[in-house]
Amino acid sequence: MELNQFLKYKDIVIQCHDNPDADALASGYALMWYFHKKNKPARFIYRGRNEIKKSNLLIMIKELEVPVEYEPFFAEEPDLIITVDCQYGQKNVTTTKAKHIAVIDHHHKVATIPGSLSRIRSDVGSCSTLCWDLIKKEGLDPNDNRLLSTALYYGLFSDTNRLSEVSHPLDRDMLDNLVINKSTVTEMINSNISLEELQITGRAILNYDYHPSNKYLVIEAEACDPCILGVISDFALETENVSVCIAFYESPYEVKFSVRSCTKEVRADDLAAFLAEGLGGGGGGHTLKAGGVMQPDLLTKSAKETIEERLQWYYDRFLVIYAKNTKLNTSKWKAYEKISQSLGCVRLADVFPIGTPINIRTLEGDVDTVIDKEAYLMIGVEGEVYPIKENKLLSSYQVTNFVYTREFEYEPNIKNRVTGEVKHVMPFAKTVRTIGSSIVFAKPLEQPVKLFTAWTEDKYYSGQIGDYLTVRADDEHDIYIVKGELFDRFYKSRGR
């Protein structure tokens, strides 16, 4: 779906969910700005029983000139209704009749969406990000209106718990790109918690459940701004003998939770994704701070019982392996030979000059490095990229002069950390082919694994049932995990 597909409609109404938050307001604002640029009349409304009263949102509407209208009794039937940051027909948005319906949202799809003009991406942190991306693809720049760009920033800021749950590179791209009024953002941030919410925080912290065996806290709060959950979990994590904290609230529309971790054996983003898996929501963030959402309709127990049960599963099910200090008994494992394959590589000095400090942005996260004459970037079959030195590259691959072309969900890019210039890597990519063959021993996992490799002692890699635990025949400490669906593409059986 592209925004220009909406231009054929005469009467357009943008509607966000009832009791709108900053992300909903920013998303509707962005669409209104787009239609204004295209000389297309449109209205931006919200409905429901309650008019906006939160101080930070009132400041946002006034200072950033958000063109939203409160229409609890809206009776018109427009040519097109576009729901933003919500999905038409769901409980959190009052139904408005329209001839045509479209949805732009970043929550998991929970029902059949009427019509075909919809864009739903649950992998990004905010609907603001999605609207920013759609507008950029139309050749327009939200920075042309600094009030709008500030609103988009605050939308992502608010929906990702002060940016602590940002995980997708598209979110980070928007953050890097936006030019904002910092003073207005500061004013909104410092008006975010009301005295009532301060009381909610206090009551929640006093009502904790502590599990000493695994050193985690579970704290239930009343329905509140998601940022309050971050305040609660951040504070609680400072408690002695607490390594992990989950703060949550349950409302008729969602179960929102915040995760904090200060132990390397539990990644907050990993735990958040585990808690939300299969429950109509999602989890995201990074190693220390993350959060997520569950859909109440999919819970068979209370939110608290569900979270407690899943936490116990999480701690009980994983085998933790520290490769540096581990020798696995592979005598009964099958032997495999690596299959020759074509991948991509980029000589970083072809992108920016030697000595340039760069940031490599990928789906897996950001990597900072400095370009030298031996610095290369490998590009895997799923778009994963990682730095590699020339001698290691040439020991396993033959570099060709053939252009490497593939399409990925998110194309990796490189940013010059001095000038801010960003370049995509694919135009510089060459094809490389594996040479020789390495022998490994491998077996499918029968239980989930957290693997600390010999080279990454502070970060684990997750392996699920059906993935392969793999050990190089010539290095018993070179232990790694290969996804089950990829193993047959990379390895073939070999007799021992």
- Dist. CA 289–CA 163, nearest whole Å: 9
By the 8 A CB rule, do 37 and 72 touch? no
Tens-binned pLDDT, residue by residue, of the chain (496 aa): 899 999 999 999 999 999 899 999 999 999 999 999 999 999 999 999 889 988 999 999 999 999 999 999 999 999 999 999 988 988 789 999 999 999 999 887 766 776 678 999 888 989 999 999 999 999 999 999 999 999 999 999 988 878 877 878 999 999 999 999 999 999 999 887 788 888 999 999 999 999 999 999 999 999 887 778 888 998 999 999 999 999 999 988 889 999 999 999 998 888 988 998 898 766 666 778 888 889 898 999 999 999 999 999 999 988 999 998 999 999 999 999 988 888 999 999 999 999 999 999 877 678 888 999 999 999 887 777 888 889 888 888 899 989 998 888 788 889 999 998 999 999 999 999 888 777 899 999 999 999 998 877 777 888 999 999 999 888 899 899 999 998 998 889 986 5
By the 8 A CB rule, do 427 and 403 touch? no
Q: What is the pTM of this model?
A: 0.70
Kindly list the domain boundaries of the chain, sorted by start residue.
3-189, 195-317, 322-336+437-494, 341-434
CA-nearest of 303, 316, 388 to 345 is 388
Strand partners, 378: 345, 386
CB within 8 A of 301, min separation 6: which ones? 309
In CATH terms, the superfamily for domain 3-189 is: inorganic pyrophosphatase (n-terminal core) (3.90.1640.10)
- The SS3 of residue 488 is helix
Q: And the tokens for 234?
A: 């951040």
Domain 195-317: give its CATH code.
3.10.310.30
Distances (CA, A) of 359 to 186, 258, 288, 346, 424: 27, 28, 21, 15, 12
CB within 8 A of 265, min separation 6: which ones? 320, 450, 460
The predicted pLDDT at position 110 comes to 66
The predicted pLDDT at position 460 comes to 86
- The SS3 of residue 84 is strand
By the 8 A CB rule, do 341 and 486 touch? no
Helices marked H in 96-225 — which ranges?
Answer: 127-137, 146-159, 169-177, 182-189, 195-206
- The SS3 of residue 39 is coil
The predicted pLDDT at position 461 comes to 86
